[in-house]
Amino acid sequence: MRTEAEKKPFRFAVIGGTAPMNLGLKETDRFSLSSTPYGKPSEPAVCYRMNKDVELVWLNRHGKFHKLSPSRIPYAANIRMLMEMNVHCILSLSACGNLRESVEPGKDLVIPDQTFDLTAKGLRPQTLFPDFAVHISHADPFCPEMRKRVFSAASALCKGKVHYGGTHVVIEGPGFSTRAESKTFRQIHNAIVIGETTQPEAKLAQEAMIHYCVLAFPSDDDSWKEDGEPATAEMIFKNLKKYGALSLEIIHALAEDFACDSTPFDCGCENVMGPNLEAVHTDIAGYLKTCSPEEEGRLREKYEIFGIMPK
């Protein structure tokens, strides 16, 4: 677990993607890792001082020039980099297709409480622990405390409706849904938006014991409306521009919130391994006795940060 010294200043990360973003802040630091035990991150993370107590860490998941498609984003490396920066919580900004009549693209916001993962499991990492058997609960994929704080900030600023709850359907992409697929996705339990990047990002953040929440910007109606125009890149970018100023206002409001109250969240996100590491089923101490010094060194470098390695 992080020490009190490591928690100062309070750092929260914003992972952005398709939506154009000009933070308008003075850069204070740039954290670059050419590699992590999980590969190279999308790009260097940039730090901004929001106020005397809070720093913002910005990361574009698609990398410079938006060169990484959803299937090629190095999700595990990105989360590991944020861990090494002592990030306390993550706000994910996500451009999404809308799946409900009650949501107005280009105006409303969505803070989902569930995901339904339909991504291709062979392409994206599903765990930060590929060398061991570690089983944690993903029953609630988003931090409830972060969701409350984001809802409070968004509700005070958004001129549209802020939809609190619902299932975020995640598909592989990069193409958009067929009409048949879109209509089928609407039948998923409480489905409200559809996107391509929230998983495995949310699962990995949970394993990293980082509080994680999605703020979804509905940019289109996917392709389920019989009399509606199916999603196009032109339509999506046009609607996303409408959210630019609002997203910045929400980020600043969160920074002020964290400055006023940065006490540990009472949500359990930092205790997913269990009080006695019950989630770790592997006898790591026994396994290390069978490893070469080189292999033990590799494993320690990769997993010491999680607090699961024996002394």
| Dist. CA 185–CA 221, nearest whole Å | 12
| Annotated catalytic residue 222 | yes
Number of other residues whose CB lies within 10 A of the CB of residue 6:
10
User: Is-contact 66 94, C-beta < 8 A?
Assistant: no
| Annotated catalytic residue 108 | no
Helical (H) or strand (E) element with 157:
helix 144-157
Dmax of the chain from CA atoms?
65
195: amino acid identity, one letter: G
If 0-12 CB within 10 Å is exposed, 13-18 middle and 19+ buried, where does residue 278 land? exposed
| Dist. CA 2–CA 87, nearest whole Å | 10
User: Is-contact 216 111, C-beta < 8 A?
Assistant: yes
Helical (H) or strand (E) element with 90:
strand 89-98
Nearest-CA neighbor of 204 among 300, 147, 279, 138? Answer: 138
* Residue among 220, 257, 266, 283 flagged as catalytic: 220
Tell me the two tokens of residue 274: 């269990």
* Residue among 222, 257, 261, 283 flagged as catalytic: 222
The catalytic residue positions are 220, 222
